[in-house]
Structure 1
Amino acid sequence: MATKVLRAEVRTFLETEAGTYTPQVDSWLGGVDPDFSRRLGERGWLGMTWPKEYGGHERTAVERYAVTEELLAAGAPVAAHWIADRQSGPSLLRYGNEELKHTLLPRIAAGECFFVIGMSEADAGSDLAAIRTRAERDERGGWVLNGTKMWTSHAHLAHYAIVLTRTSPPGEGPRGRHQGLTQFVVDLSAPGVTVNPIRILDGGHHFNEVVFQDVALPAGMLLGEEGNGWHQVTAELAYERSGPERWLSTFQVLDLFARSLITRPNPAADAALGRLAARLLAIRQLSLRTAAAFDRGDLPDLPAAMVKDLGTTFEADLIDEVRRVTDVAPSLDAPSPLGRAMAMAQLHAPGYTLRGGTNEILRSIVAKGLALR
């Protein structure tokens, strides 16, 4: 009942916000509006599951899921706070020292502090253990950071990054490469940090290259334990891969497609809509189960990988299916909202399988995990 009431509250809020933003495909990456994020924070819809002492609201993961699902389905501009609320905050809560938690978590929950992911690098995207970014101790007791991270969405707008680094050489054996990795919280305004844009096919800018050159890190910016970075980053990925954004990025296309059939019935299109709706509902159930697992205190890494794989495949298939059965031409300048949404979804599609792990890597994770059971 609480979740049902909460959904109604979010829908009422979105009705009052009508006209302040344009619903769009991939709104959790492309829809940046810091003021909108702050308004969500004012309503207690950021940091929902965190303890109150850190600015949270002690709601359930399923309640948070309901809020994010409604926002994504509406194409709302949630990109500014998305990473911080989804995974950086939970990582800080689990591994951060008290100073980091008390300083950063209330600001994230208020929609005033934004984070990015500092994992992938050139030649080390899906193979995170191959990263070359290094952090070395200095004479002050802190660290010096050097290296480059790629695909860091909205680093040009964010305040901090959680950066995976190598702090000691890899060990021996098949899992030795996972040793010697450490995470740090990095202030992106610090001297030595340079952010370079990476444009996508439609000319949009959310991807970036972030270069760290002799960046001084205080000792207190170490996240968790030195050398425990692999365990921490894989735990973080469970938050990144399991949410509704993994199958709702192209929901605007599906919504507009369904609405177009109200006045123009088409048997082939109706059948396509049925197939797509059935797949969406199945993926949603699996995604909801991961939210329930978080409420139990679990980190559902295998189900999360499955959600990401199935959701990414669905998002791309949706575009092709709709294009096959409609006479609406995809174009960013199309007079039809459906045509514009289809064009944007198609241009963003190459990134669907990259962000959060490629489908091939995810299937390998699932296969290995099932083999060990």
Structure 2
Amino acid sequence: MSTTALPASAIELRAQVREFLAGYAQTWTAFDRAHSWTAFDRDFSRAVGRRGWIGMTWPAPYGAGRTAFDRFVLQEEMLAAGAPVGAHWVADRQSGPLLLKVGTEEQKQRYLPGIASGDISFCIGMSEPNAGSDLAAIEARAERDGDGWRLNGTKLWTTNAQHCQVMIGLFRTTGSAREARQGGLTQFLIELDSPGVEVRPIPDLNGDAHFNEVAFTDVYVPGERLLGTEGQGWAQVTSELALERSGSERFLSAFPLVGAATRALNASPADAFERGDLATLGTLVAETAVLRSLSLMAAGKLERGEDPSYHAVITKDLGAELEQRTAPAVRSLFIDPPADLRRAIDYTVRAAPTFSLRGGAREILRGITARALGVR
């Protein structure tokens, strides 16, 4: 892909990241690579942290103060290679930036160094059993208890919660879902080893358990763990979701299949695949390049301190659609794909329905786009 829109620092970083990944990639199968940003590998994340590549855009003393373009290059190289980034992905992408934006100095000092080293993992506590894409319908409550709060309720689809130390959870502190909707919501930093927290893994069609249900029963959270401003949780979550939706994981989740297919085709005899279908491979790459440009525009907005929300919504919507088409398209290239590639294709086909749900369902995203265009 072209690097002409990137600064010199990002181009130099790309070579460094590829060299770093080459030391690991020899042992990764196509099936391993298909897991990528959901794969939880603490040792790998610590190695990334030692390079200064987690929280790399954060200001000193917590990060290196590098550009959003540098981080963009790092993330796309990691995802294109299918690296196991799940242990640090959420904290680097959105939890750390949210702490920097609205957290207290004590909160920053408590969590950011551990995030940057790859030792502390964060998960997201937004969705609930009766509040998925309609996030304003959440019912989990936080009630004052002396100088702190008591949390009760359930969060759902919380990726890798069973491995994480901290959740940023959204709870209703005043009013009800019917009356207040977006009002009365507050975010908390919840350490998941607290008494009353129960994490229940949810097996998926692949037999994995990335998703979790997290139940809170009278969980005490000290007052200093309230994140940001009481009652401003909706505004904070909205800014957080822009970071979640705009990154390259929204169109590169299935991209390792393209690389694996290319390697397999290059190593196969001519009668092992349908050469007439190779235009399919080119189409996938071309569409990825378009979405990459859109995501790069969002990175530019972040670098300038601007809101990337609308770019993020479109990137996520179109990216999920591309990702869901990738596995069937790659399968169509082969009469009989190699066993490892077939396993990776099958895994991605079963995982693909979730691609259009995580980070906001397609219908929600298109409603946001319609409002931005003034047609709703």
Q: Which SS does the other structure have where 2:181 is aligned?
A: helix
**Post-superposition shift, 1:169?**
0.6
1:337 to 336, 340, 348: 340
Question: What is the aligned length?
Answer: 363
1:369 pairs with 2:372: yes
Q: How does 1:252-263 map to 2 (within 5 A)?
A: 252-262=256-266, 263=268
Equivalent residue number for residue 85 of structure 1: 92
Question: In structure 2, how many angstroms separate the alpha carbons of the residues matched to 1:272 and 1:20?
Answer: 28
1:56 to 43, 58, 63: 63
1:27 to 36, 44, 62: 36
**Post-superposition shift, 1:102?**
1.2
Gaps of 5+ in 2: 1-7
1:145 to 151, 156, 160: 151
Supply the AA of the counterpart residue of 1:339.
R
Equivalent residue number for residue 330 of structure 2: 322
Q: How does 1:221-232 map to 2 (within 5 A)?
A: 221-232=225-236
Question: In structure 1, how many angstroms separate the alpha carbons of the residues matched to 2:112 and 2:262?
Answer: 40
Question: In structure 2, how many angstroms separate the alpha carbons of the residues matched to 1:118 and 1:271?
Answer: 42
TM-score by length of 2: 0.93
Identity of counterpart residues, as a percentage?
50
Question: In structure 1, how many angstroms separate the alpha carbons of the residues matched to 2:128 and 2:160?
Answer: 16
Q: How does 1:275-314 map to 2 (within 5 A)?
A: 275-314=283-322
Question: In structure 2, how many angstroms separate the alpha carbons of the residues matched to 1:170 and 1:257?
Answer: 51
Equivalent residue number for residue 177 of structure 1: 181
Taking a change above 3 Å as real, the CA distance of residues 81 and 272 of structure 1, as seen in their structure-2 partners, is same
**Post-superposition shift, 1:336?**
2.6
1:193 pairs with 2:193: no
Question: In structure 2, how many angstroms separate the alpha carbons of the residues matched to 1:338 and 1:136?
Answer: 51
Equivalent residue number for residue 107 of structure 2: 100
> What is the CA RMSD across the aligned residues, in angstroms?
1.7
Query: 1:142–1:216: 8 Å Cα contact kept in structure 2?
Result: yes
Q: Which SS does the other structure have where 1:52 is aligned?
A: coil
1:269 pairs with 2:273: no
Taking a change above 3 Å as real, the CA distance of residues 300 and 170 of structure 1, as seen in their structure-2 partners, is farther
**Post-superposition shift, 1:21?**
4.6
Supply the AA of the counterpart residue of 2:33.
Q
Gaps of 5+ in 1: 330-334
TM-score by length of 1: 0.94
**Post-superposition shift, 1:171?**
9.1
Q: Which SS does the other structure have where 1:161 is aligned?
A: strand
Equivalent residue number for residue 161 of structure 1: 167
**Post-superposition shift, 1:286?**
0.2
**Post-superposition shift, 1:324?**
3.0
